[in-house]
Amino acid sequence: MAGPAIRARAMARVLGEAGHEVVLATTSTLSAEAPAGPYRMTALRPGDDSAFAALEQDAELIVFQGHAMEQFPALAVTDRVVVADVYDPMHLEMLEQGREQPHATWEMLVRSRTALLNQQLSRADLMLCASPRQRMFYLGQLAALGRITPTTYANDPELERLIALAPFGLESTPPRHERDVLRGVVPGLAAEDRIVVWGGGLYSWFDPLSLIRALALLAERRPETRLVFLGTKHPGVEPMGIVKESIALAEQLGVLGREVVFNEGWIPYEERQNHLTEADAGVSTHHVHIETEFSFRTRILDYLWAGLPMVVTEGDAFADLVETEGLGVVVPAEDPDALAAGLERVLYDREFADAARARIAEVRERFVWERALEPLLAIAAAPRRAADVEAAGGREALAAASAVLARPDGRPGLARDMRMAWHHLRHGGLGEVARRVRSRLGRR
């Protein structure tokens, strides 16, 4: 599973264990070997409105992510309580993900993702985001869509009932090593080697090239250093060009297959613990751009889960956490020398690594799924529609109101004065109209 499915299954489990009757629905393939949980699983074909209607009929609360509101139009107008999980700012992600496309296609992809998120943000009763940075970003988007109003603000000045923090989480049970998968199994990985792992896939917004250069530098003075990329081929997704570039660079530097190892497949989610527990450290490197600033690198949670000191690039929410809490080393972007020094510190400075592990043991408790999903548990326990959805008489009416916000309310003049006079007469009476006329005359 990739991040969205990991998160959806965790939500289903936590809600089910809290006593709710949960259906976990996917528009992807549902494996016959999928592990059971305190929930029912089903697969829906995108656009199968009758199948969705059957689920909607029995639901009090609908939680969704990704393209679901686009795929099932009834979700945009349902009278059930709706939670939009927007932990992944898709429109910003597409700025990098679509870079390899023709320019017109790139523009179209970003525009479509923006419209997709605007549809969700203008209709949901609650939005879940992954970090304080994301929350500030989405508050701006919600303001532009007209959802920060006296109606939503009056009894909720922090707007926590509109958009809440629910970071990606980790399992409360520590990982357990069940069988050897790296040392003595993968050619070139010996028991005495110091292994750093790259926990997720390889995408264009990451910077594996600087990391490979750093590893080659470090291996010259620390020949027992190894770097393992755990995933290169995302199931059902064509590998990005960065995968080939990374393999080619490792080969060019003479480290491919020994100092730098690429797992050509995709490790099953339930087996990742074996790889993590054989590693000595984790690493995540990226370029600095707008996608980075608001991203939430979900696989870094696996490093926390496994107690791995880490080296990360500056510029995102996790870099702030690593630096503030002493969980490893934060390095500048695209700096192989700094990366090599950081890797050497977490792999070979035993005192530093032990101190980082001690801090990780404390910090990771903040990210267990049961704590991360507290806002979702709260609305599941007492489902309620957003104040402005209720006031507008439904999601469609509320969303329609946001469509006119880019058009100012007419030029100054008699026509606008008459509209304002009628407004104040309806809502304040003759006394309010007279007060405003006197105020206008006084300013003149």
Tokens of 289: 């751009």
More confident residue, 32 or 310: 310
CA gap 214, 208 in Å, rounded: 10
Question: Kindly report the CA angle at 262 between 257 and 263, in degrees rounded to 5?
Answer: 125
**Poorest-confidence range of 24-38, 84-98, 376-390, 399-413?**
399-413
Instruction: Give the homologous superfamily in CATH for domain 3-169+371-400.
Output: Glycogen Phosphorylase B; (3.40.50.2000)
Contact 230, 267 (CB under 8 A): yes
Q: What is the mean pLDDT of residues 65-88?
A: 94
Alpha carbon separation from 26 to 29, 63, 65, 76, 436 (Å, rounded): 7, 12, 10, 18, 56
Q: What is the DSSP string of 338-358?
A: HHHHHHHHHHH-HHHHHHHHH
- Which H or E element spans position 185? none
Fold of 194-367: Rossmann fold (3.40.50)
Q: Is the pLDDT of residue 238 over 70?
A: no
Q: How many Cβ atoms from other residues are within 10 Å of residue 36's Cβ?
A: 7
Question: Residue 217 — pLDDT band, cuts 50, 70, 90?
Answer: very high
Using the predicted structure, report yes or no on whether residue 416 has a pLDDT greater than 60.
Answer: yes
Q: What pLDDT is attached to residue 444?
A: 58
CB 383 within 8 A of CB 61: yes
For the four alpha carbons of 108, 113, 114 and 119, in that order, the dihedral sign comes to: positive
Helix (H) or strand (E) run with residue 260 in it: strand 260-262
What b/e string do you get for 128-146 counting C-beta neighbours within 10 Å, with b at 16 or more?
A: bbbbebbbebbbebbeebb
Predicted pLDDT at 322: 94
Cβ(261)–Cβ(227) under 8 Å? yes
Q: What is the mean pLDDT of residues 64-82?
A: 94
pLDDT score, position 411: 58
Taking alpha carbons only, the member of 168, 89, 80, 82 closest to residue 126 is 82
Amino acid at 277: T
Cα(98)–Cα(360) distance, rounded to whole angstroms?
A: 35
pTM: 0.84
pLDDT tens digits for 357-378?
999 999 999 999 999 999 999 9
Q: Give me the pLDDT at residue 403, please.
A: 73
Percent of the residues in the chain that have a pLDDT greater than 90, as a whole number: 68
Q: Where are the domains of the chain?
A: 3-169+371-400, 194-367, 410-444
- pLDDT at position 233 is 67
**Quick one: tokens of 233?**
């081929």
CA distance 146 to 404: 10
Look at residue 407 and tell me whether its pLDDT is greater than 70: no
Q: Which residues contact 425 (CB under 8 A, 6 or more apart)?
A: 432, 433
Question: How many angstroms separate the CA atoms of 100 and 107, rounded?
Answer: 12
Pick from 96, 109, 97, 106: which is nearest to 67 by CA?
Answer: 109
Q: Do domains 3-169+371-400 and 194-367 have the same CATH topology?
A: yes
Averaged pLDDT, 212-218 = 97
Average pLDDT, the chain: 90
Q: d(Cα 138, Cα 5) in Å, to the nearest integer?
A: 22
Q: Match 């998120």 to its residue by tokens.
A: 117
Per-residue pLDDT of 272-297, as tens digits, reads: 899 999 999 999 999 888 777 777 77
